[in-house]
Amino acid sequence: MSAARGRTGPGANPGPAEGWEASPDYAGGADAFAERLQAFSSLEKLGGFALGCTRCRLRAGCKGVVFGEGHPRARLLLVGEGPGATEDALGRPFVGRAGELLDRILEAAGFRRQDVYISNVVLCRPPNNRIPDDAEIAACRPYLQRRMDIMRPGIVVALGATALRALVDARARVTQARGQWHRVEERWVLPTFHPAAVLRDATKKKPVWEDFQMVRDLYRRLYGALPAEAAGVGPAEG
């Protein structure tokens, strides 16, 4: 993530309400759009539709939509903020420096990347990696909801403040909400610090590690074993 992040500033695009017109398939209010997404019954179909999305202005400033990747029936879903430059270039979530750290965190907690699903609150890279604004988050939110309805993950990790606000409470603060389970619909949501925040501030490493231990413990409680353990690969105890 760049150091120059914020809701405004050079390179910031106005929100979708400000002079942006989506093509007809992607236009409309959140409820109508959520209704349209009901037509897609698999992640593959939903992703195929999302790739053409022009619902907000972000699409005009990035290379492409980064839909997400992982096991389509993963019981653990990780949600970040939005693609960065590397993710935009490669079309995959969390493959830059923050992604490398996320892989190490997952591995230390006993999860393999192939067993979980990873995506973001917004599917298009915000210019200069700025924080997506409320309108952009709202425009993309139906995809996240439909993804969760299709996958039905029992556990969702909200990586950072944007994911916390999109998944739990728009006014919540990550410093206060992290490390506690939040019951949202039929899911358990655990907010934690974003890996990019850990890269900027090493004191966040321990709390994130503790949060992922909570994820590991709940996963075992709910499902009996971690995917690697169930596959006979053996736990990666920390």
81 binds ligand URA (CB under 6 A): yes
d(CA 35, CA 120): 21
Q: Which residue is nearest to ligand URA (CB)?
A: 80
Q: Which stretch binds ligand URA (CB under 6 A): 7-15, 38-46, 74-82, 170-178?
A: 74-82
Q: Which stretch binds ligand URA (CB under 6 A): 89-97, 164-172, 197-205, 212-220?
A: 89-97
φ, ψ of residue 51 to 5 degrees: the values are -60, -25
Least separation in angstroms between residue 28's CB and ligand URA is 26
What's the Cα-to-Cα distance from 94 to each of 37, 38, 186, rounded to whole Å? 25, 27, 26
What is the number of alpha carbons within 13 Å of residue 71 lying toward its C-beta? 15
Least separation in angstroms between residue 32's CB and ligand URA is 27
Q: Between residues 87 and 136, which has the closer beta carbon with respect to ligand URA?
A: 87
Least separation in angstroms between residue 26's CB and ligand URA is 21
191 binds ligand URA (CB under 6 A): no
87 binds ligand URA (CB under 6 A): yes
Q: Between residues 197 and 218, which has the closer beta carbon with respect to ligand URA?
A: 197
Contacts to ligand URA from residues 113-172, by CB under 6 A = 120
94 binds ligand URA (CB under 6 A): yes
Q: Between residues 83 and 226, which has the closer beta carbon with respect to ligand URA?
A: 83
47 binds ligand URA (CB under 6 A): no
With CB under 6 A as the rule, give the number of residues binding ligand URA. 13
Nearest to 197 by CA among 139, 131, 137: 131
Least separation in angstroms between residue 232's CB and ligand URA is 31
Q: End-to-end alpha-carbon separation of the chain, Å?
A: 28
Q: Between residues 138 and 158, which has the closer beta carbon with respect to ligand URA?
A: 158
Q: Which residues bind ligand URA (CB under 6 A)?
A: 80-84, 87, 93-94, 96, 98-99, 120, 196
